[in-house]
Amino acid sequence: MIDIKLIRENPELVRENIRKKFQDEKLPLVDRAAELDRANRAAINEASELRAKRNQLSKKIGMLMGQAKKDPSKLAEAEEIKAEVKADGERLGELEALETKYEAELREVMMKIPQIIDPSVPIGPDDSHNVEVQRFGEPKVPDFPIPYHTEIMESFNGIDLDGARRVAGNGFYYLVGDIARLHEAVLAYARDFMINKGFTYMIPPYMMHGAIVEGVMSQSDMDAMMYKIEGEDLYLIGTSEHSMIGRYIDQIIPASTLPHTLTSYSPCFRKEKGAHGVEERGVYRIHQFEKQEMIVVCRPEESMEWYEKLWRYSVELFRSLDIPVRQLECCSGDLADLKVKSCDIEAWSPRQQKYFEVCSCSNLGDAQARRLKIRIKDENGKIFLAHTLNNTCVAPPRMLIALLENNLSADGSVRIPEVLRPYMGGKAELTKAPNVI
């Protein structure tokens, strides 16, 4: 959510930002916000004047009532002023109701106006205009066919999709044996990787109130992603950064404690609406998965520096697992409304012979902080909004696809990267299972 001052002082900047995001249908919101803001300020000013007038008249009434003991005519004058105060009180009540109405309507409109994007963001209408920035590691295509990722898992008796469909429907899975263990090894390694970078490990609530959901994401994202708990003001989290950022709602953070660098584990629950291609079946796009996340709360002037650090941590982690990756800069039309700047880290798929998304790094500027009232108090007592950032550390279902494909051998075995072996009981490879469960 942007600052209303931007609309007051530079509405064309806000309109141009909307155009850059190819959301022209939102252009009327700028004028509507300006109109509501003017009406609200007029109501506030009139109410302030009436309160000041009421205070003056109340003093005058008191003085006249005191004088009425000696001069009865003063009593009639006091009664006239009382009638005026009563009328002003009724108008004040109307104005206070209008203030509440205007503020609610203005907030609703402002929540729909996208955050001002960083000047470095490439302009384009959708993800087909995202820009490759750089590659890390040499993508390779082996001289033997690579099976679909669920087939690789099945060769180790490592996945049961049919059983999951019977229990929960499509979009769920059972992981079994060494594949389940590899899944947990990736999470544990990612946890320790981030701890070694100085991040504090946390496990957050897996549900959150509607006010937190509204504070951390746009309405469209909320409708597309979130599962609502029937009869409760609670939603299952779609990603842990939401409840992690929600932790700071209505807080004033001493600047001396910043930055807050956190890494959180959680299961994630998502509707994942819409049809997807064959390569997004299996465990690529699912309703439930687990993830290790990076979160930073910092001073505004430090957020771009942290943005660079976060996506580079993802590259370092994936390269330590012998997985080639690339950084893809998200264009304006592919940015969620709360984001100032974002990039994806994509892993190489030898099977598809292309890259696919495994991490998303975002600088949200003060958007979440403004909605949730997350503020910083500096050494001089000045209070201002924090900046928030997040980045996927690992989401093992997709990570597993990249890891299995890039470490698969011609005989069907999978080499376990050296950094994961301590988490796998020292195993150096997975070998095909002789039997099927």
Which sequence positions are flagged as catalytic? 270, 285, 357, 360, 398
CA–CA distance, 259 with 340 (Å, rounded to integer): 19
State which amino acid sits at residue 242.
Answer: H
Q: Is 70 exposed, middle or buried (0-12, 13-18, 19+ CB in 10 A)?
A: exposed
> How many CA atoms, within 13 angstroms, populate the side-chain half-sphere of residue 98?
18
Specify which residues 359 forms β-bridges with: 345
Please report where in the chains the tokens 């609502």 appear, as a residue.
Answer: 228
Q: Which residues contact 426 (CB under 8 A, 6 or more apart)?
A: none
Strand pairing report for 288-298 and 387-394: antiparallel
Sheet containing 260-269: which strands, arranged edge to edge?
131-136, 325-329, 341-349, 354-363, 387-394, 288-298, 260-269, 200-202
Q: Which residues contact 369 (CB under 8 A, 6 or more apart)?
A: 248, 375, 385, 386, 387, 388
Residue 243's nearest CA partner among 220, 264, 221 is 264
